[in-house]
Structure 1
Amino acid sequence: MLRSAPPTAPGMTVIRARGAGQVRHVASARRTAVLIGGSGAVLVVTAVLGLGLGSLRIDPATVIAALTAYDPTNDAHLVVVQSRLPRILLGLVVGAALGLAGTLMQSVTRNPLADPGILGVNAGAALFVVIAIAYFGVSSVGNYIWFAFAGAAAAAVLVYFLGTARGGAAAPVRIALAGTAVSIVIGALSQMVLLSNDAAFNAFRFWSIGSLQGRGFEVILTVLPFLAVGTLLGLALIGPLNAIALGDAVATGLGTRVAGARLGAALAVVLLSGAATAAAGPIGFIGLGAAHIARRFTGNEHRRLLPASLVLGATILVVADTLGRALVAPAELQTGVAAALFGGPLFVALVRSRRVAAL
């Protein structure tokens, strides 16, 4: 008489394993949906509040009237539409770009401390922009954005070279230290150039520490195509990044061109960081915070991780900028400083964490 297979039969084990995997997949998808939905809600609320906050407080009714029935002769309407609305929109696109750039850098280097600000990419872009303004007479974003791309790429190569100078794979902390050192040196050079050129100093003394103030719609329209290309390129690498997360050897065995994927990610980071820095100056820690918060909810599945980091980056930057205007009103805390107040403690906590070895 034949007996049914016991519960521990191989077939049953496989079925249970698949079921557990599906449960984890569904749970991760739900957490991602909650994260993106919650971040999006915070972003919308903060953006609406930000339209009324600042040295001139504007009531919600006037804000709504400015958006729905704009009157160019009304001073409050002018402030909302011509000053604060482009500021919030720029914060949204720049924050999203930095959030995605930070996640891409962490994924391709498997370094949990990677961030365009920490690894000197933003500082390199800023230095080249300052040089273009001070010595080449470049004054528009559409012209000096190319200098920003060159500076971002040069800084990334320099940090990688310093981090791997002893040969072998670069340890996350070593790369972070190299990036910090390069950022400090480049920042000092930028300040030296600004102090030696009065025109450049007067025009960009706030931009050099990261600011969304005084940027019009033309700045957004100038950088948006580059940010869009960088975003699409980064999202196109979801498959290769998932493979690289398993290790280079496994990724190669799965048919992934690891070197090509890293090159594509590097190009995306240069486009995203260079354009973001050209528009708003060097703002650090946004990518670091967005990537780590997103990874807590999504794991290393890049189909969810990358979109989540986009939304989180936008939310963090808009919230930081709005708080910088609200907490010290009628004065204003520059966006780069407000972001550092959020990201600095996070960076220290990550360095002290035992999980800093690698992703």
Structure 2
Amino acid sequence: MISTVLSPAKRGGAAARRPALQRRAATLLIAASVVTVVMAIVGFGLGSHPVTPATVIEALLSYDPSQNDHRVVVASRLPRTVLGIIVGAALGLAGALMQSLTRNPLADPGILGVNAGASLLVVIGIAFFGVTSVHGYIWFAFLGAAVTAVLVYALGSAHRSTATPVRIALAGTAVGIAITAITQMILISYESAFQYFRFWAVGSLQGRGFDIIVAVVPFIAIGLLLSLLLSRPLDAVALGDATARSLGTNVGTTRALSALAIVLLAGAATAAAGPIGFIGLAAAHIVRRVTGNAHRWLLPCAVIVGAGLLVTADAVGRALVAPADLQSGIAAALLGSPLFILLVRSRRVASL
């Protein structure tokens, strides 16, 4: 339908740009995948007990539980790295979706109240239900993220109004501020809750086993599949609501399903590792510089770049303070904030 209103020259130009875009996106996917694998192997060897890369590869290919180095790699650092890849991928994809949904280039899991809702329920679980382990936090955090996102979307579409990007962003900001105030009030009243909460709130991959990974993978997998299925409708919505409707796209359904995917991705990632910032924000902007706003390339690339960023941040953080351990949330902020500043300064922020 679009092609009928474009001149032959414009159609030819668009066709000529398509292979170039595909080559750039494929190059980015390959490069990000290589970086992720290399930094994962490097990360296996970093920590209070250094392990050489050769021993890391040996432990992964022919695990011998009688060797201490092998146990360190497989029992401790393998779950951490796998979780880092999964959480980074989820945050990268959620960041790209949030920016497309809200048309806000600064959108991250905080704009829909995901982090605030997860934090409130974790504090409630600690203060009133005596939950003190990561295995207990995860379900409270996921429930809080889900309920808050539903509330934000309901407020953004109140009085039968369309859930526009501005309404959603404003509702998310207002709900996030209110929830944060309640969270702080509970923490002030229950000092013991603060002692446990502060370790989760800083964001960390340490101490999470494969049981945590198994718990969050189904939610992230559903969110990933749903996001990729929404790539074409999101391309249409990016042209404007009227144009999208003329192309047969149900704008309301697309936004609702995008919000659901964000809840599944960001909620599960936050529940597993705590609130980790800058990954979704930086990953989406890195990818947009290569793919533009073409969601069929933007979303898959955001998955790989997000995974690579978090794994790299975690490895670099441990290398900086070795033999001590730097929490992944702090490492992500230390790496992500200057990277994002460079992105903003080097080129105009992509319009959405």
- TM bracket, shorter-chain basis: 0.7 to 0.9
Query: Could you tell me which of 63, 66, 69 is aligned with 2:59?
Result: 66
Query: Could you tell me which of 311, 324, 330 is aligned with 2:317?
Result: 324
Equivalent-residue separation in structure 2 for 1:80 and 1:247 (angstroms) = 50
Q: What's the RMSD between the two structures over aligned residues? A: 3.3
Is the aligned partner of 1:335 residue 2:349?
A: no
Q: Return 214-223 or 338-347, whichever deviates more.
A: 338-347
Is the aligned partner of 1:278 residue 2:301?
A: no
- What is the TM-score when the length of structure 1 is the normalising length? 0.84
Partners of 1:242 and 1:300 within 8 A in 2: yes
Partners of 1:118 and 1:285 within 8 A in 2: no
The aligned amino acid for 2:101 is: V
Is the aligned partner of 1:22 residue 2:19?
A: no
**2:226 maps to what in 1?**
233
Query: Could you tell me which of 65, 83, 94 is aligned with 2:87?
Result: 94
Query: Could you tell me which of 249, 255, 277 is aligned with 1:256?
Result: 249
Larger Rg: 1
Query: Could you tell me which of 292, 295, 299 is aligned with 1:306?
Result: 299
Equivalent-residue separation in structure 2 for 1:353 and 1:37 (angstroms) = 23
**2:117 maps to what in 1?**
124
**1:82 maps to what in 2?**
75
Partners of 1:126 and 1:277 within 8 A in 2: no
The aligned amino acid for 1:266 is: A
Partners of 1:123 and 1:186 within 8 A in 2: yes
Q: Return 231-240 or 198-207, whichever deviates more.
A: 198-207
Q: 1:129 to 1:320 in 2, by over 3 A?
A: same
The aligned amino acid for 1:324 is: G
Equivalent-residue separation in structure 1 for 2:24 and 2:232 (angstroms) = 21
Q: 1:50 to 1:350 in 2, by over 3 A?
A: closer
Structure 1 gap segments, 5+ residues each: 1-12
Q: 1:145 to 1:102 in 2, by over 3 A?
A: same
Q: 1:177 to 1:340 in 2, by over 3 A?
A: farther
Q: Residue deviations 1:7-27, cap 9 Å, x none?
A: xxxxxx72x443322220001
Matched length: 343
Shift of 1:171: 5.3
**1:247 maps to what in 2?**
240
Partners of 1:171 and 1:357 within 8 A in 2: no
Partners of 2:235 and 2:295 within 8 A in 1: yes
Q: 1:323 to 1:351 in 2, by over 3 A?
A: closer
Seq. identity, %: 62
Is the aligned partner of 1:41 residue 2:34?
A: yes
**1:7 maps to what in 2?**
none
Q: 1:88 to 1:298 in 2, by over 3 A?
A: same
**2:260 maps to what in 1?**
267
Q: 1:177 to 1:225 in 2, by over 3 A?
A: closer
